[in-house]
Structure 1
Amino acid sequence: MGSLSSVADLQRALAAAQREVERLQSALAQTTFGTDRVGETGRTLPSLAPQAGPANLDEASNLRAESALGDTPATALSGATLEAIPLAMWALSFSAVRPRIEALRRSGITAFVEHFQRYPDELRALAARVKLLQYNRQALHLLRGDGQGQLVRHLPAYLRDESWSAMGKILAGMAEGSAMVEVELPLWTLSGQKRYVLWRQAGPCPGERGWDRVLVGLVDITSRKQAELELQQREQRFRRLVESAPHVTYCCTLQPEPRLEYISPSATGMTGYTPEEHYQNAGLAWATLVDPEDRPTLEQAVLLGGNFCRPIELRLTHRSGRTIWTEQVHVPVYDESGELIGLEGIALDVTERKEAEAALRASEQRYRSLLETLQEGIWVVDAHARTTFVNPRMAEMLGYRAEEMLGQPVAAFLERGTDPGVNPLATAQAQGHAFELELVRRDGGKVATLVRSSPLYDSQGNYTGTLAGVADITQRKQAEEALRHSEQRYRGLVNALPVVVYSALADAALTLRFLSPQWEELTGFSCQQCLSDPEFRRGLIHPEDRQAVEDRVELLRQRKIAVEVEYRLRTREGTFKWVRDRAVPAFDPQGQLTGYDGFLEDITQRRRQEEQLHHMQVQLAHASRLATLGEMVAGLAHEVSQPLFSILNYATACANLLSQGRADTELLGQWNREIAGEATRAGEILRRLRTFARRAEPERSLGDVHEVVEEAIALVAAEARTRRIRIEKRLAGQRLQSRFDRVEIQQVLVNLLRNAFEALEGATAPGRRVVIETAIQGPWAQVTVADNGPGVPASLVSQIFEPFFTTKPDGMGMGLAISRTLIEAHGGTLSYSPAEGGGAKFHFCLPLVRV
């Protein structure tokens, strides 16, 4: 919206336009010949001048012209008389026009102006019949310019398209018998110049010869018409300016009651009402739209008087009810007695400016409140380095009150002896960045600060001072110092650790950003070589271990949890060392992943010991199996002797039959098949014993747990029969696939079954039995061995899996310990629980493989 300067410019423009309109009106008043009329009762056209009178004729000449045209018959005027008239005069003959006019009258035509407008070709044809009989020298000057030669006697030679409307009025006046015809029309000189004239002629005299000679006076009004056109153009430009401007222009009367006479179209946007609504509804008068609280301001401005009042701010009520702030300039209008009768003025919508000013005031208040409560010090100094403003935090930082620092040079708060003209705040702004500055408190203490400053300039661009933000970083500096000490201690600790410590970025390549010196001791390669080339580091991993490492890295990225993996690293000598790599994700305070921290531990020696331990465990398991076989030897001997006795009996029978000379081939064939079957049975028993007793490295393969259960039951079946114990199988209805070593799982089952047998040895309960049950428990294949014996005393449950713990007088206490070790080596568990109704339950689980 506009400002005060734009309002003043508009005032000057309006005043200049008003003066120009007054000048043109005065010029028209001096050039107007008279009023236009057609007939005695013709329409009077409004004159632009307050008075009418000839500009180039004196009163006597005008009277003579009026007398010549009005009182003397046209046929009585001679050529000398025409020359004596001080006007351009024509003598025209309309005799050739009269027959057609009479015919039109007889046809009932009375409105000749409308008729000629409807039939312009007929108008042109009639005008062509009018003859120029005579003219005077003034007419010659008017239509030739040079006053030499002669005029063309053909009337259409002086007419153009713009002339025909007026020509129709002239002929209509003749046809209607008007006593006087007076019309303005444009004529063209013989040289092609356009002239505006006032055509004034007396009507035809009565009788047929009255059309033969008609006198016409031609008054040159070109200057007046040009002035009128210029005035119209200026008025149109002024109106376009007013109506296209964003402000509202209005005129209103105050007497007898407020009423709008004019309001520009932009009022619709400002008030919500169209100009027509303002005109039609007296209640929407401009003054009544002013907010009641602002009407005294309007009245006071009106009472000041003068041509222009000073701009004032008024609130208007919009159609929607909202308030519109305006800046208005009023011009009071008085009547002849000096009484105020109206107002003219303009109004600019300054609502946005007022809202912006209100927002600015609120912002300034918030800014001041912010400065008062800001935890950072604000320090303003002038061009001479003297303090002009500090906020409370700045004063508190240095132990002063704010008013005590005003007027003091910056050097007063620096080391004693500093030159008063020194202004490090300005130095900071020249450097274009923040810098640290040590200030001195009132009590002599030192304050470490971080200064950010910017220069201040006046409206002419002259340097006036510096605005600085000062942050107390004393605690930060102390923390940084503590951090440096902590980092030194951390580095010392890292360098003293027997592991390689590393830190990696969270990018795709896991780029290392730190690697402790122990790396060189571990691998023989330099830290720099590993830091700069991720592919080199990957190439050091044993090919057989790379996939496992990549899987753990992917798990680390996806789940963002700590992971651990063991793999082999190639050293500079070409040998491989086992390492344990543990990595944990690192997060920033906002919880965003920033990287990974971890360590590499050389576990080569541990892996060797584990291999030795594993070898010893294999030997121990083998020894345990042999011991178990030794304990089972009586039952196994009986188990093997049965098929041998059967073979012996069948062989003896065959020999007897043959010695008697009885060669019954059918019977011999049957006994031979029995011998073969018993031999197969004895061989299967021996195969199981040999397999169970063999000494070999564990070999895990995919198999059905039920098959191992059946094999284990077969190994102890003879002992169960000897001990009169019934074995019940409750196997799951589906295959339990797992990856295991068959001999080791057989050993676990045989240990659990024989322990159950021994627990039932002294049991008095009838129907001694052992139940072996299989089931699927989530991701596990579970095998349960339960007996109905006395169970395990609660006080001993926590010790039963410990090595060398036994309750048997001749036992070694290694069976359950070895069994748990074997199951855990398969990734499973072995546990105990008391059976319902008495007895013991041992469960072991193996990872289930779903096929």
Structure 2
Amino acid sequence: MIEPAGLFAGLAIGVAMGALVWRRHAEPHIHADEAIHPGDRQAIAQAEARAFCSGVPQVVSYRQRSPRHGWRWHKYRAEPAYSSNVTVRPLVHDPGENWALATSLGETGDAVNAAKIIEDVYGSAFAFDAEGRFTYATPMAQTSLAMTLDDFNEPLSDAAFLDGGDLGWKRGVHPADYDSASAELRRCMRSGTPFNYEYRVLRATGEYVWHRFAIRPARAGDGRVTGWYGTGFDVDVFRRTDAALHESERSLRELLETAPALIWCMTPSGRPIYFSRHMREFLGFDVAAKDEPDVPRLQSLLGAIIHPDDLDRVNERLDHSLRTGEPYALTHRQRRFDGMFRWVETRLAAMRDEAGEIVQWNGVCLDIHDQIRAQDELRQAQDKLAKAGEAASLAELSASIAHEVNQPLAAIMTNAQACQRWLAGEEPNIARARGIVDRIVRSAESAADIVSHIRALFQNSAGPRRSTDLGALVGEVRDLLAEPFAQSRTSLDIRLAPGLPPVAIDAVQIQQVFVNILRNAIEAMAASPEGSRKLRLEGAVERGRIRIDITDTGPGLADPDHALEAFFTTKAHGMGMGLAICRSIVEAHGGPLRANNVEPTGARFTFTLPIAKGGDD
């Protein structure tokens, strides 16, 4: 098999050979460039190149012009050794130039003639006899190497070349390449087989450059090898380019293998074909390890590594991307080599060619398990901090209540004891006791006022009612809860009827109602699969009021009939006051708050708000 650099070089000589084929087959009155159909010349050149550089005959069809029949199809067989029994056009050169020509043609004349045929078109060739002594070399070859024929043939040892001796051309070969190149040349010369080899030669400039040499035997009529002819091609640029490509490929592969991510690739149809080293280490197997008969590789792999609760969602998203070419992104659980499921974020994108066609899918999995756990721990810490704040506020409120109520209760106790003394005497002082009883009544009324004030505080019933744009209020609520929505990956769909009139409300209180209900819904859907957590907030005019419906897709309410009662809760550490306070606020605005479950799953909270009659209400 011819390597790319050698084939490229071979094509160059193939062009030269092809030109000689045209010359050989052209009829006398037809110009050589017109004898072969232009569309077939490249095919002939490639056939000659392959035959010359590989030693294997090549057969090609081509069209040749005939003065009587126009273009006619012919078969051409390109032989590995180019025949030298053709008329060679005389070389044209300036007589003043110092051309070094061969003097010992003799029986090696066929080899020299073949070399001149190559030189005639391409410009560089050489020939040597059956013993390995050079009999011809073009001036270009001698000049570029700064060596003459005498230099090439200078004996460097007593033994002949075929017997292991060395000739002067050894000085023009890189020391690291000479032994292998000379050994291969001796083998070819002994067996009479073509020589194709690449090694470094020393230029006149003092630098070593890579050349590819193609050498063929010239034979007598009895098949005996009478000499050798060939040419050399400078493939240094191709060598360096090829080395650079290999290094680039190695660097890219090393980058993929060492990148701190789980990288994988698929065909355009979705068949996994590559796992990076980190991916293999994470899963504990390579891309083909889970193949099953008659089962697509992608299906068998996903079934082996994706958490059962996430598998349908992963399949659905992958199918969509493969159908549409859209990027894929999903967070799911993936099995590690030890059987543990870890949270990963998977992204997949299509690599396309210049025409926009998908040629490969490239994906990356990021292990975010520790990050998810850290977020959960942070959320738990925030919840504990919030509960601690609630407890502190409750303690402060309790102290305030105790302080406020303690004064009238203390007065009641003191006056009751005094009254008891006035009535316990031998002669009860009814007038004084009556006055003390009046003071007890006033102290009790003061305590009742304090309790009523605290009750009103809990009900938030003392705030001013103002005309409020409901859309703006809902927007503020959405902004307040933006972070919880993002962290929980919950979507909020707001559907307010166009042209809603303003409402007469205490905006702070109603905002608390929205926040409380929406936050409870987010928490209720925490266990639902990602992508199914959806909230819908609707508002429309109904019977002279604004009706609000808030619906989630969570598991629903365990007991809708008692969900709004004080101290009723299904949370492990809940106080059961949030929805009760919401109901009190809504009722203070003249409307009921209702809770019920919806089909197929989820809960809905419904309440109404009064429409403003203009200005403050």
Higher relative contact order (CA 8 A, sep 6+): 2
Tell me the TM-score normalised to structure 2 length: 0.41
Tell me the TM-score normalised to structure 1 length: 0.31
**Higher Cα Rg: structure 1 or 2?**
1
